[in-house]
Structure 1
Amino acid sequence: MIVLTSFCIGLVLFIVFLFLRGRLAYIFTTSHEVAMAVADLSPLLAFSILLNSVQPVLSGVAVGAGWQSIVAYVNIACYYLIGIPVGVVLGHIYNMQVKGIWVGMLFGTFVQTVILLIITYKTDWDKQVEIARGRVNKWFIAETGEGNANAQDA
């Protein structure tokens, strides 16, 4: 549910930045040249907002489920093995410059989001609840056991 809520908020902002791209820059500048540069990059900003409205939520779910190492490997692979190389190729070899680098990073974020979405979707959450319950019970029983041992010594 939270992923859907976050996606809806991101979608609203995506639409705002996509359709107001030619006007938003004038809030901060009077330069037509700067406004045109911002308008040119605004679609990438809109897609960044949309992807980054969902990706941190999915990362948080995975970390909360105890899969920190999986999230770390996914992050490293998506940014350093996919996003940066694609960005360098697009930015420097295909002369897309800053757009190419940004598209590469967006692609890495997109791949990361898809992977985390698949992991989240395929997870047996009932099993995860039982695992968490077992951990809490183990901790609680250990606490209670220590308390009883101290009470008997007194």
Structure 2
Amino acid sequence: MSYITEVTIWPSAAAIKPEIQDLIRYFYVLADTPDPETGKQYATDIFIPTGLMKGPFGLSDIYVGEAEIQKSKLNAWKLFTSRRHRVKRVFVADEQGYDLMLIGEVELGLRNGRAVTNEFTCRMLVDEASVNEGTPRLALSSVWSDTSGVMAALK
């Protein structure tokens, strides 16, 4: 089992399909992979063609549609040497298990030699049509995080 979800508490009120759990796991495997080309995998393997991907760093960290998502990781490693996401808990807002809220933390290794652990939340909306086709994909991933600690450590 991957370190990313090895201690995750999955909801018991609504079952999350294993293939959706795998999609979440793969999302963060890509996030932790120091390759600027992972945006292409996000665009094809994680999101539907019209998907929206919002990171924690404001307006410059929003990508809409396949072409933008493909470019989303080109500069993602400019400030970091490592990232290690852990999803701690997943909450479900619908009966199907497609509207999800995640709570987690990420350990960040910075290029200046410092390290920071930062908490995050992420809303994920799984596209129902993609689930019905047997290949779940996200319509939305929206991250919230207080990045002030990261920004301070970068100084």
Q: Same fold (TM over 0.5)?
A: no
> If you compute each CA radius of gyration, which structure gives the higher value, 1 or 2?
1
TM-score when normalising by structure 1: 0.26
Structure with the higher fraction of residues in strand conformation: 2
Q: Tell me the TM-score normalised to structure 2 length.
A: 0.26
Q: Which has the higher helix share?
A: 1
Q: Which has the higher contact order (CA 8 A, sep 6+)?
A: 2
